[in-house]
Amino acid sequence: MREYTGVTVSEGLVMGPVRRIDRGVSGLGRLIHDRSKERALFDAAVVLAKDELRGLMEQADGDERDMLRFQLVMLDDQALLTEISNYIAAGAGSAAATERAGQIFARRIRDLPDEYLRQRGADVLDVCSRVVEILDGKPRQKLELEQPAILAAESILPSDIISIDRGMVLGIATSKGSAQSHAAIVARTMGIPAVIELGEEFLKHCDGHEAVLDALEGRLILDPDETLQQQVRRQREEMAREKARLAGLRGTPCITRDGVPVSLLANCSEPGGIEQAVAEGAEGVGLLRTEFFLMKGSIPDEEEQYYFYSSCLAAAQGRLVTVRTFDVGADKLVEGMMLPEKNPALGLRGLRFCLERRDLFQDQLCALLRAAAKGPMDVMFPMVGGVMDFRMAMEEVEKAKANLRMRGLPFDENLKFGCMIEVPSAALCAAELAAAGAAFFSIGTNDLIQYTHAVDRMDARLDMYYKADSLAIQRMIAMTARAAREAGIPVCVCGRAAADPKIAPLYVKLGVSSLSMASQSLMDIKEVLLNTDLSEVPSLA
């Protein structure tokens, strides 16, 4: 047996044969035609690549469709197309030009400070590889597996996963990779165990061998002996029983041992994710992210947004959906819409950006007001700094309502608007925000921790200062919850800490009435809360 240690990006435990994906070296023996013909060949390949992507989108859902849509947008990206055109004009063949431009473009993206955009480097390489294979006479074919297998490669591209029958992929093992890559995100969404950073030596020996992929401990064992195989079978049986047991909690009301009810909600980005969350037992959507429209470089009009929000409400099947208005800025940049800032974390973020770009804000508010007539919906503003911000946002809401009345379009006159509490100033004036008309609070702990402790949450060196249960954060949450209770409005936590079994009970004890998290964590947190007596939870606040 040979064991290789890596990093888990999607938990699970599987056993089976390994199938290595080896893309090899493309383009050997290419003929280079004159520049006009090379450009014509490239244009034709782009058309075929778009057709392939649209075909894959019909099979995909959730984050997968989101990723494919981004790749489709990249094929119209003027910066990338100009880069390729320049290489063709300089005498390079269309395939070589696409390869080179794609690598350079992906490298630029990976060097950006924005983590979201860095993740898109793999998508650029993926879509450029698709075009190159078409130019080389090797249109992208669906990878066929004769039997379920663990996929192995230097790195897995998102479309590698999406194009394969899901039941045939036991797990994913790579010699390199990133926990934040879109392939990792797709693996987690699909529930496929995955381990990355196993090293180059692993790839030399893995193809065709039996293996245990232990994505609980972050390791892969080639050629497991019978003793290990029996251990894995027993552990998988125990895991299956545990999963079935937790599934039995879905219909159980979430009430602590001492009788405090807690609503468990899901963080989602699109209708497919909402459907999954409902199946996992979510009582509603505590955070619907909307900025993905802008992150792809497209500017959605009111109608496009209206249909999207309506689809999200339909997917929720009558459950409340809480929508966050566009939350961009800092590490979520919108190309072509935002000017460089010396300190973007303290710049035009969230609501500040919306108030700067009121044309976009008005389209979104009109779409939300119209969609809200179709089902239960709340709307919240991110990065509210104080009462003035909230009042300015509500003035825009009134303008949107007047616009819809003038156009004779139906909308929800009573749609509720709330505040995200993400900066200390908002927590400190929570009572005043409630008095100004905020219908609810949603505490975004990811940013609240960052701003309270003056810590860049993207800098791993500062992890010791990034504490979700510090005395300061406890006081901020308690202060916000007290203001909500006195005003008779609900308060939710939608940050990452809501899914931490050690911290979630503390937040509930501090007065939080609901927790919103990734749907996979819902039943784990429910079990913790069902077995918790809040009087026994220690707190410093």
DSSP string, 277-335: HHHTT-SSEEEE--THHHHTT----HHHHHHHHHHHHHHHTT--EEEEP---BTTB--T
Among the listed residues 320, 419, 324, the one whose alpha carbon sits nearest the alpha carbon of residue 374? 320
Mean pLDDT within 99-124: 72
Active site residue 205: no
pLDDT in tens, 266-281: 988 888 889 989 999 9
Question: What pLDDT shows up at residue 486?
Answer: 97
Contact 421, 480 (CB under 8 A): yes
Q: In 3D, which of 436, 425, 439 has the Cα closest to residue 484? A: 439
Residue 49 makes CB contacts below 8 A (sequence gap 6+) with 75, 127, 130, 131, 134, 140
Which pLDDT score is estimated for 156?
A: 73
Residue 481 vs residue 342, higher pLDDT: 481
Rounded distance, CA 264 to CA 285, Å?
A: 9
Q: Which residue has the higher pLDDT, 441 or 28?
A: 441
pLDDT of residue 259: 96
Instruction: Give me the half-sphere count of Cα atoms (radius 13 Å) on the Cβ side of residue 88.
Output: 21
Measured distance CA(152)–CA(203) in Å, rounded: 7
What percentage of the chain exceeds 70 in pLDDT? 84
| Catalytic residue list contains 494 | yes
Task: For 119, list phi and psi in degrees, rounded to 5.
Answer: -65, -20
CA distance 485 to 397: 25
Total number of residues shown for the chain: 541
Tens digit of pLDDT for each residue in 39-52? 888 988 898 888 88
CA 52/CA 57 separation, integer angstroms = 9
Higher per-residue pLDDT: 190 or 354 = 354
Sheet containing 2-5, strands listed edge to edge, beginning at the edge strand earlier in sequence: 2-5, 219-222, 210-214, 13-20, 149-153, 169-174, 194-196, 7-10
Token readout for 79 is 């910066």
H or E stretch at 18 = strand 13-20
Asked if pLDDT for residue 309 goes beyond 90, the answer is: yes
Which residue in 473, 471, 477 sits closest to 491, CA to CA?
477
CA distances from 13 to 191, 213, 240, 296 (A): 11, 6, 11, 35
| 85-94, 111-120, 506-515 — most confident range | 506-515
Instruction: Work out the end-to-end distance of the chain between its first and last CA atoms, rounded to an integer number of angstroms.
Output: 52
CA 227 to chain centre: 39
Catalytic annotation, pick one of 128, 182, 206, 268: 182
Quick: pLDDT tens for 222-268.
999 999 999 999 999 998 898 889 888 999 999 999 999 999 999 88
| Mean pLDDT value across the chain | 86
- Residues 179-190: pLDDT tens digits? 546 566 667 656
Instruction: Tell me the whole-structure pTM to 2 decimals.
Output: 0.66
Whether the per-residue pLDDT at 141 is higher than 70: the answer is no
- pLDDT per position as a tens digit, 145-162: 778 999 898 877 666 666
**pLDDT for position 142:** 56
Please state whether beta strands 210-214 and 219-222 pair in parallel, antiparallel, or not at all (unpaired): antiparallel
Kindly indicate the confidence band of residue 143, based on its pLDDT and cuts at 50, 70 and 90: low
CA separation for the pair 241, 260 (Å, rounded)? 28
pLDDT in tens, 13-67: 999 999 988 655 444 446 788 888 888 889 888 988 888 888 777 766 656 676 7
Determine which one of 128, 268, 492, 494 is catalytic: 494
CA dist list (Å): 209 to 17, 149, 201, 382, 470: 5, 10, 14, 50, 48
DSSP 250: T
pLDDT at 202: 87
- As a whole number of Å, the CA-based R_g of the chain is 25
378 backbone φψ class: left, alpha, beta (φ>0; ψ -120 to 50):
beta
pLDDT of residue 25: 45
Q: What angle do CA 437, 439, 442 make, to 5 degrees?
A: 120
User: What pLDDT is stored for residue 28 in this prediction?
Assistant: 45
Question: Quick one: pLDDT at residue 480?
Answer: 97
Q: Which residues contact 321 (CB under 8 A, 6 or more apart)?
A: 274, 284, 285, 288, 312, 313, 375, 376, 377, 378
Beta-carbon contacts of residue 423 (< 8 Å; ≥ 6 apart): 383, 384, 385, 447, 448, 451
Distance CA 387, CA 361 (A): 19
Half-sphere exposure of 102 (CA within 13 A, CB side): 20
What span, in angstroms and rounded, lies between the C-alpha atoms of 473 and 480? 11
Q: Mean pLDDT across the stretch 319-327? A: 95
pLDDT band at 197 (very low <50, low <70, confident <90, very high): confident
Per-residue pLDDT, averaged over 280-294, amounts to: 86
Q: What is the pLDDT of residue 518?
A: 81
Q: What is the mean pLDDT of residues 305-334?
A: 85
Each residue's pLDDT tens digit, 390-436:
999 999 999 999 999 999 999 999 999 999 999 999 999 999 999 99
